[in-house]
Amino acid sequence: MCVFCKGDLAFIVVVALNGEGDFVDAVTVKVKCASPFEAECWALCHAFSLCLRMNFVDANFFSDCLSLVSAVHGSTIPSWKLTNLFLHLFSCLNVDAKCCVFWIPRKDNSLAHNVAAWATSHNIVVSLCVVDVAPLVATLD
């Protein structure tokens, strides 16, 4: 997952990888957010939605937003303004107890950042499959 914020708008990109780490699908969304942290929360919501749409089971979610991952692991709501969003996130995690949220260092999240930069620069807000994304963007190299 990756978030690019511009004022009160955020470009959210969720990248789906298979068990071997190969690019499978991505979704890009533009949302109005009060903060980058709220955008990160929305990114995780969209990651859950992508998994439901693709019928993924036992999914692992990786975010480079440590405060989001910590809040999810601690089942805490860091801001009352985000109560409904966090209750939704906790509900999604309870639906499939095998789903896990992990922190990933930003430097190791380059695929999501590459897709986000590409989608943002071209104002692309859609679901993307591997053939839609330039091969350079869809690789970790």
What is the Cα Rg of the chain in Å? Answer: 14
Q: How many CB atoms lie within 10 A of CB 45?
A: 17
**Predicted local confidence at residue 137, as pLDDT:** 57
Q: What global pTM score does this model have?
A: 0.83
Residue 130 has pLDDT above 80, yes or no: no
On whether residue 75 sits in a domain, the answer given is yes
Give me the chain's average pLDDT, please. Answer: 83
Name 100's Cβ contacts closer than 8 Å, sequence gap at least 6. 60, 61
Residue 35, CA distances (Å) to 3, 24, 26, 41, 62 in order: 11, 29, 23, 10, 20
Condensed to tens digits (0 to 9), the pLDDT of residues 68-85 reads 999 999 999 999 999 999
Q: How many CB atoms lie within 10 A of CB 33?
A: 19
Most confident of 11-15, 42-46, 111-115, 124-128: 42-46
On whether residue 134 sits in a domain, the answer given is no
Domain extent for 61: 2-129
Q: Compute the distance between CA of residue 120 and CA of residue 114 in angstroms, rounded to an integer.
A: 10
Q: Which of 91, 116, 115, 120 is nearest to 23 (CA)?
A: 115
**Predicted local confidence at residue 99, as pLDDT:** 76
**pLDDT (mean) for 4-11:** 84
On whether residue 113 sits in a domain, the answer given is yes
On whether residue 138 sits in a domain, the answer given is no
**Predicted local confidence at residue 136, as pLDDT:** 46
On whether residue 21 sits in a domain, the answer given is yes
Name 94's Cβ contacts closer than 8 Å, sequence gap at least 6. none
Q: Provide the domain count of the chain.
A: 1
φ, ψ dihedrals at 123, nearest 5°: 50, 50
On whether residue 97 sits in a domain, the answer given is yes
CATH number at residue 20: 3.30.420.10
**pLDDT (mean) for 80-97:** 86
Q: Which of 102, 140, 121, 137 is nearest to 4 (CA)?
A: 121
On whether residue 136 sits in a domain, the answer given is no
On whether residue 137 sits in a domain, the answer given is no
Q: Give the H or E element holding residue 21.
A: none
